[in-house]
Amino acid sequence: LIIAEAALETVPKNISRHASVTRHATRKGKAGTEILLDRSYHHKAMLMLDNADRRGRPDLVHFALLEAVSTPLYRMGLLRIYVHSIADKVIFLHEKVRLPKSYFRFEGLMEELIKEGQIRSDSDLLMEIKNMRFADLLSEIKPSKVIGLSRRGIKSDATKIATMAKEDAVLVVGGFPRGHFSARVAAGMHQIYSISDYSLEAHVVIARVLYECEKLVK
């Protein structure tokens, strides 16, 4: 599973001295560029950013990841999870990682990951982050097929998608609040499918498709 173009990044340098950022960063005892960009705090500063409506929603990524890591499929070691961010960084979740359910703790963990490059527990590597474009990630994991999910895709359903994904395919769900995959990311997909006429939250799409995948391995 790839959560692509995810709205999870630290505050970009060009807005790190904006009052809404410095106030928030000072309260957290961190530098402006060390905290996660968050629309609920940095709305005014974000007006200066390109693509602002697709950024600053790390809470959506938290929800989507909690959904994926809580599935039996992941706990059985049958699912690999990657977060490709809008800033072209990729988070690799290693096997059977548990994530904090509290958003406050998740935010701290992501800030630490971006700063240190990895998270360890004793000798085990739990997560790491690398500078990588979506295309670079695909070259590294070499899936048999890249299946995108979007309301704008070809009409299908979760069961058919799970069947198509069976042999080492990658499922790509957007980690952004609105809009669609960029042309750059969509170009890496073999096909894009829709599972509903509604625009669904990423975590709902993840839950539905992974559940169907799970039924195939039982």
Ligand X SMILES: C[S@@+](CC[C@H](N)C(=O)[O-])C[C@H]1O[C@@H](n2cnc3c(N)ncnc32)[C@H](O)[C@@H]1O
- The span from the CA of 100 to the CA of 106, in Å, is 6
Interface of this chain with ligand X, residues 96 to 115, rule: CB under 6 A:
none
Helix (H) or strand (E) holding 1: none
Among 88, 111, 128, 201, binds ligand X (CB under 6 A): 201
- The span from the CA of 153 to the CA of 169, in Å, is 17
Query: Would you count residue 85 as binding ligand X (CB under 6 A)?
Result: no
Among residues 15 and 38, whose Cβ is nearest to ligand X?
38
Among residues 31 and 200, whose Cβ is nearest to ligand X?
200
Smallest gap from residue 4 Cβ to ligand X (A): 8
Q: What is the token pair recorded at 59?
A: 């809470």
Residue 20, class by beta-carbon neighbours within 10 Å (0-12 exposed, 13-18 middle, 19+ buried)?
middle
Query: Would you count residue 56 as binding ligand X (CB under 6 A)?
Result: no
Among residues 125 and 187, whose Cβ is nearest to ligand X?
187
Among residues 15 and 173, whose Cβ is nearest to ligand X?
173
Contact 99, 66 (CB under 8 A): yes
Query: Would you count residue 173 as binding ligand X (CB under 6 A)?
Result: yes
Query: Would you count residue 200 as binding ligand X (CB under 6 A)?
Result: yes
* Segment near ligand X (CB under 6 A); pick from 27-35, 97-105, 139-147, 196-204: 196-204
Count CB neighbours of 21 within 10 A: 24
Write the binding mask 137 to 156 for ligand X: x where contact by CB under 6 A, - elsewhere: ------------xxx-----
Among residues 119 and 206, whose Cβ is nearest to ligand X?
206
DSSP line for 79-147: --EEEEETTSEEEEE-TT----SSHHHHHHHHHHHHHHSEEEETTEEEEEEEE--HHHHHHHH--S-EE
Binding site residues, ligand X, CB under 6 A: 149-151, 173-174, 176-178, 180, 194-196, 198-202, 205
